[in-house]
């Protein structure tokens, strides 16, 4: 699943508290031998990763938290009348040192974690939650914010948006509660932060704990060479002989796709589909506590359910709109998804499968059918998607659309040898951002793919600070004899996450909290998902996709097959994605405390979307990090919401030309550069000329034709 983890940004300022109005006597003395606290004499003030050790984090957090408290105290104690500058802007610019440390720490927690780092996170998280509560529940501070909100004076559009966002943040985080209810709010939010953190740690541990080790050459003899090599490399990395499959997607999926061994595939599928459902890393009790705590918070703030609370600050607007949206898409596509299942099931039976087509059979037979119908498979396509070529192709697309250039910079410190840093410049040579690329799976990295920022864009005292953006993925590793050759799905993922990075790198504005990807959650996927449309455009692929051994351009017939196959199983995959949205909404529209069986609850929630047979003893929820440890609670529908947006938006490129400069410039100025400075619907209509229409998505999937 795609993942877009948006970690808080760090500051480009020298170490120390950001607000110069804070009396020096009130500032904590900083230990400048700690690289997290010292000024960074590095290219573009990038993090000095090689100097940062585990021992530095906790002291740095403590010092930065003290800085943040001093900054907030200075705002509260300011004798001058509350104004936009001395209250709203001052609050926006406070906490820069803490944000710097959080940006590094929480990115490492996902991309390069360790037992020690996870232990630190468990100690640090309550302190951060306490600080957040102390700020959002500060009565005097809220009084100043409210005073400005009620008498704003003349403000620009960007300033009005910052003011509104700041006021709502306080109002939606307990500032208007009674003292008794504020105490409960503190308790619930502290509990919730610890619960969600533990959920994610359990999920990673469960993924790493399972392996399937094969020693019999006969079992792997039928597999394509690249699959055997990957399994052998995995085994060797663990000091094992033979072949090893893990639950990491680049290892798991190829075996499920090409092996005929139903027994082993069922074992693998059940292991992956029952992660954290019981056992050592059980997340079911955590789910109960998370959803019940979220419900308590929502009720405390005056909402019937958690989804009502979340969706008030989303493009969709409310629970009813989301439920109608999901149901409408399901009605239009469910029969087509069922037809997809029947097609593959009948095909499997024709190939000798006895009994019902089960979920662990699906990758093999759906791929075999695709190979026969479209003469297209991973082995045929992968040689033309060698990672270095794909990277050049992705960079080329950014250049043709937006004039961007990417230059490797070996002087920039990176956090792992696999990571590469790039200077990103505009067509006129102006520096825009640093881009970090981290491609391959490792035990210390969370599964999935995501974009994050170490620092966002902002302008302070007339000086512009540009972003530091990172893309973290889990692509097929190179072997001793073969470079990293991506599947078409992995290529799609690269384009998707790169779209997020464009949103971050091209962001403009004075206030970091409003730039780049700091937008409504159901809007943030538009810049990423629209990029996937180019993956099947012949005009684009012809520019760079060549065979990694021969240099031969990708043949026209292969491109034609890719285009012809792009809607293969589109309805099934669409409904599968809807099923996650239905499940998310079921958990977060609860109006009474949950005490039921997690597995059975999920079965009921997914029932309207069920296509493949239900298998007892499996469930998605216990490892559904997006909604239980990420930022997508009551928001997973946003992927489909944004898919409607991207289908409608890309239709303009199709009409005018996929590299049309005028359309690209409009998308850059109205979507990518604007961030959260205006309401997303206003931005979208300004680009497209009308509100999004779901018919574009249905037509793109080829349904009804």
Q: How far apart are CA 277 and CA 283, in angstroms?
A: 6
User: Quick one: how many helices (H) and strands (E) in the chain?
Assistant: 28, 9
- CA-nearest of 643, 633, 524, 517 to 578 is 643
Q: Which sign does the torsion angle of CA 343, 376, 491, 536 carry?
A: negative
Q: Per residue in 212-232, is it b (16+ CB within 10 Å) or e — as a string?
A: bebeeeeebeebeebbbbbbb
Neighbouring-strand partners of residue 459: 464
Strand bridging mode 405-408 / 420-425: antiparallel
For β-strands 463-465 and 458-460, DSSP reports them as antiparallel
**Parallel, antiparallel or unpaired: strands 468-472 and 431-438:** parallel
Catalytic residues: 497
Dmax over CA atoms of the chain, in Å, equals 82
- Quick one: 417 exposed, middle or buried, by C-beta within 10 A (0-12, 13-18, 19+)? exposed
Give CA separation, 544 vs 385, 393, 482, 552, in Å.
Answer: 9, 6, 20, 10
Neighbours of 385 (CB within 10 A): 25
- Given a contact cutoff of 8 angstroms between Cβ atoms, the answer to whether 52 and 36 are in contact is yes
Contacts of 101 (CB under 8 A, 6+ apart): 10, 36, 57, 60, 61, 64
Residue owning tokens 């490399």? 233
- List alpha helices for 210-283, DSSP H: 217-220, 225-237, 249-258, 262-273
Residue 285 has, within 13 A of its CA and on its CB side, a CA count of 6
- Are 296 and 592 in contact, with CB atoms under 8 Å apart? no
Q: What do you get for the CA distance between the two ends of the chain, in Å?
A: 28
Beta bridge partners of 465: 458
Helix (H), strand (E) at residue 163: helix 157-171
> Helix, strand, or coil here: 67?
helix
CB 393 within 8 A of CB 545: yes
Give yes or no for a contact between 335 and 310, defined as CB atoms under 8 angstroms apart: no
* Interatomic CA distance for residues 129 and 73, integer angstroms: 18
């Amino acid at each position: 699943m795609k993942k877009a983890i948006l970690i808080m940004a760090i500051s480009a300022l020298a170490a120390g508290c950001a607000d110069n109005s804070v009396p020096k006597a009130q500032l904590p003395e900083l230990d400048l031998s700690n690289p997290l606290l010292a000024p960074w004499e590095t290219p573009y003030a990038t993090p000095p990763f090689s100097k940062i050790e585990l021992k530095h984090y906790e002291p740095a957090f403590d010092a930065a938290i003290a800085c943040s408290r001093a900054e907030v105290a200075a705002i509260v104690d300011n004798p001058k009348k509350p104004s936009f500058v001395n209250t709203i802007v001052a609050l926006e610019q406070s906490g820069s040192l803490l944000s710097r440390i959080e940006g590094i720490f929480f990115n490492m927690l996902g991309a390069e974690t360790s037992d020690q780092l996870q232990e630190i996170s468990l100690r640090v998280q309550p302190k951060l939650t306490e600080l957040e509560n102390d700020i959002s529940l500060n009565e005097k501070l809220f009084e100043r914010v409210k005073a400005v909100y009620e008498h704003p004076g003349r403000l620009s559009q960007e300033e009005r948006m910052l003011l509104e966002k700041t006021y709502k943040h306080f109002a939606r985080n307990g500032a208007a509660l009674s003292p008794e209810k504020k105490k409960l709010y503190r308790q619930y939010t502290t509990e919730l932060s610890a619960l969600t953190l533990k959920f994610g740690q359990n999920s990673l541990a469960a993924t790493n704990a399972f392996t399937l080790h094969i020693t019999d050459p006969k079992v792997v003899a039928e597999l394509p060479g690249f699959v055997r090599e990957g399994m052998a490399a995995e085994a060797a990395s663990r000091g094992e002989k033979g072949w090893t499959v893990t639950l990491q997607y680049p290892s798991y999926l190829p075996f499920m796709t090409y092996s005929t061994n139903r027994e082993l595939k069922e074992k693998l599928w059940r292991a992956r589909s029952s992660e954290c459902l019981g056992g050592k890393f059980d997340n079911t009790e955590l789910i109960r506590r998370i959803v019940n705590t979220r419900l308590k918070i929502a009720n405390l703030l005056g909402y019937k359910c958690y989804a009502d609370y979340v969706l008030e600050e989303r493009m969709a607007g409310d629970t009813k709109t989301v439920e109608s949206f999901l149901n409408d898409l399901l009605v239009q596509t469910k029969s087509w998804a069922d037809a997809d299942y029947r097609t593959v099931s009948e095909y499997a039976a024709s190939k000798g499968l006895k009994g019902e087509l089960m979920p662990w059979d699906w990758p093999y037979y759906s791929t075999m059918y695709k190979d026969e119908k479209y003469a297209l498979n991973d082995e045929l396509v992968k040689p033309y998607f060698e990672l270095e070529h794909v990277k050049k192709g992705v960079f080329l697309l950014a250049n043709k659309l937006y004039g961007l250039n990417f230059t490797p910079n070996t002087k920039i410190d990176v956090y792992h040898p696999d990571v590469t840093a790039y200077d990103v410049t505009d067509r006129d040579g102006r520096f825009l951002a640093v881009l970090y690329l981290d491609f391959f799976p490792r035990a210390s990295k969370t599964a999935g793919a995501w974009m994050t920022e170490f620092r966002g864009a902002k302008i302070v005292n007339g000086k512009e600070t540009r972003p530091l953006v990172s893309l973290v993925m889990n692509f097929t590793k190179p072997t001793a004899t073969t470079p990293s050759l991506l599947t078409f799905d992995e290529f799609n993922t690269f384009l998707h996450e790169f779209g997020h990075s464009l949103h971050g790198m091209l962001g403009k504005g004075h206030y970091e909290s409003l730039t780049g990807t700091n937008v409504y959650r159901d809007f943030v996927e538009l810049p990423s998902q629209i990029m996937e449309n180019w993956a099947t455009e012949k005009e684009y692929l012809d520019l760079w996709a060549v065979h990694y051994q021969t240099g031969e351009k990708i043949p026209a017939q292969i491109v034609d097959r890719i285009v012809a196959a792009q809607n293969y199983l589109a309805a099934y995959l669409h409904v599968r994605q809807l099923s996650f949205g239905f499940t998310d909404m079921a958990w977060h529209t609860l109006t009474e405390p949950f005490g039921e069986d997690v597995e059975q609850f999920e079965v009921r929630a997914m029932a309207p979307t069920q296509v493949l047979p239900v298998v007892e003893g499996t469930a998605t929820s216990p490892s559904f990090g997006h909604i239980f440890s990420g930022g997508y609670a009551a928001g997973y529908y946003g992927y489909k919401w944004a898919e409607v947006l991207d289908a409608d938006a890309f239709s303009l490129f199709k009409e005018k030309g996929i590299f049309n400069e005028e359309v690209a410039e409009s998308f850059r100025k109205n979507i990518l550069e604007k961030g959260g400075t205006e309401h997303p619907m206003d931005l979208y209509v300004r680009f497209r000329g009308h509100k999004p229409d779901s018919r574009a998505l249905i037509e793109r999937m080829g349904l009804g034709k």
